[in-house]
Amino acid sequence: MKRLIMTAAAALAMQCAAATDYLADLAPYQPRQSVSGRIRVWGNPYIPELMQAWQDGFRAIHPGVTFDTNMKGTEAAMAGLYAGIADIVFIGREPYQPELDAFRDWFGYDATGIKITSGSYATQHKTFALMVYVHKDNPLAGLSLKQLDALYGAERRRGAKGAVRTWGDLGLAGAWAKRPVHVYGYDFDTGMAGFFRKTVLKDSHRWNPELKDYRNGRTATGDVINAGTYILQRLAQDPDGIGYANVLFENPGVRSIALRDEELGAEPVPPTQDNAWRRSYPLTRYSTAFVNRVPGRPVDPKVREFMRYILSRDGMAAVVRDAAFLPLNNDAIRAELHNIE
């Protein structure tokens, strides 16, 4: 627990120090029209302070707007949207396919998703980035996502010609060449494994059958022990192991490695907070809002203005002050604005 607190405090200090850089290129909110009425909000219960800051800032400009806020949980969010009792839902993880399918089955078209923050770098319950780790004595410098797919998956949708099962398959020579790779990760039903599967395995459900997966545990007092703690503890005991978790759970026996997205032609990128904010590190996550936008019709003006506020310097400044999630950068914001225009 002491290690966790120290790491989280360090991450918060780093984010505060970088706040000016995070916001420097962002445009302030400029309303396109005056709006009023009630906006019904459902979803992620882990952002009450951030949601309040967004709502207070928006109402200072649009005093005729009121909010009906029910942050009951991510699991109930999409149901609120397709049941017609929410105008915007906030999901604190990647949406599950059955949630998206249920909306489409009901309306005949897809819910419109708008990414509103990057995930956190190192904050519990805030959609944290995933880092790939090896034992501290392992000489591997980094991997491509194609190699990671061939290591963790069985279908190899990224195009690898064969499975990766030894360290020699990853380019290590000498005594390492014939040593088997022992693979560790999160339980398949978790959001972390779901994100890893979609991002690295290109949504293949065919995992390496030798993968050892871990569930969350509990302390004697009932507090949750994130499965990443167990993954990296086991990895520290296994020189032939590889696993994914977060910097919150690392220990002196492991070290993170750089990753390269070969489809972007990028160089290997180390998992730093700055690279997560820039989104050059490929295992950085998002938090997302969804709205019900009928194809060919505009978004409800008051909803559109609220989302434009969130996707502005004002909205991202609230993200920085909240100090849990990372704000979106300018490129990401421009891409998301297209979903509500």
If one compares 253 and 189, the residue with the highest pLDDT of the two is 253
Q: 2 — phi, psi (to 5°)?
A: -60, -40
Neighbours of 187 (CB within 10 A): 12
Task: Say if residues 241 and 184 touch (Cβ distance below 8 Å).
Answer: yes
- Candidates 333, 248, 222; CA nearest to 9 is 248
Which residue in 78, 69, 67, 74 sits closest to 45, CA to CA? 74
Checking if the pLDDT of 18 tops 70, the result is no
**Residue 13 has what pLDDT?**
52
Between 1-10, 81-90, 91-100, 140-149, the lowest mean confidence (pLDDT) is in 1-10
- Res. 15: pLDDT tops 50: no
pLDDT value, residue 125: 84
Q: How confident is the model at residue 2 (pLDDT cuts 50, 70, 90)?
A: very low
Q: Which is nearest to 242 in space by CA: 283, 211, 271?
A: 211
User: According to the model, what pLDDT value does residue 10 have?
Assistant: 53
pLDDT in tens, 220-230: 999 999 999 99
Strand ranges (E), 149-199: 182-186
Confidence of residue 96 (pLDDT cuts 50, 70, 90): confident
At residue 341, the pLDDT reads 86
Q: Reply yes or no on whether the pLDDT at 59 is more than 90.
A: yes
What is the average per-residue pLDDT within 240-259? Answer: 98
Query: What is the per-residue pLDDT across 284-315, written as a single tens digit (0 to 9) for each?
Result: 999 999 999 999 999 999 999 999 999 999 99
Give the range among 12-16, 95-99, 252-256, 323-327 with minimum mean pLDDT: 12-16
Q: What is the model's pLDDT at position 44?
A: 85
In the DSSP assignment, the letter for residue 116 is E
pLDDT at 266 (0 to 100): 76
Cα–Cα distance, 120 to 210 (Å, whole number): 30
**Gyration radius (Cα) of the chain, Å:** 21
- Would you say residue 8 has pLDDT above 50? no
Q: Is 80 exceeded by the pLDDT of residue 163?
A: yes
Are 30 and 57 within 8 A, CB to CB?
no
H-state helical runs in the chain: 2-17, 19-23, 48-61, 74-82, 97-107, 145-152, 191-200, 227-236, 273-278, 301-310, 313-322, 330-337
Asked whether residue 282 carries a pLDDT value surpassing 60, the answer given is yes
Query: Would you place residue 121 in the very low, low, confident or very high pLDDT band (cuts 50, 70, 90)?
Result: very high
What per-residue confidence (pLDDT) applies to 1? 42
pTM tops 0.85: yes
* Cβ proximity of 190 and 227 under 8 Å: yes
Mean pLDDT of the chain: 92
3-class state of residue 244 by DSSP: strand
Residue 21: per-residue pLDDT = 84
Please tell me the predicted confidence (pLDDT) of residue 228.
97
Helix 145-152 to helix 191-200 angle (10° resolution) is 120
Copy the structure tokens of residue 175. Answer: 């005594």
- In terms of DSSP bridges, do strands 254-256 and 131-135 run parallel, antiparallel, or are they unpaired? antiparallel
pLDDT at site 19: 55
- What mean pLDDT is predicted for residues 241-258? 98
**pLDDT at residue 11 tops 70:** no
Determine the pLDDT at residue 20.
Answer: 56
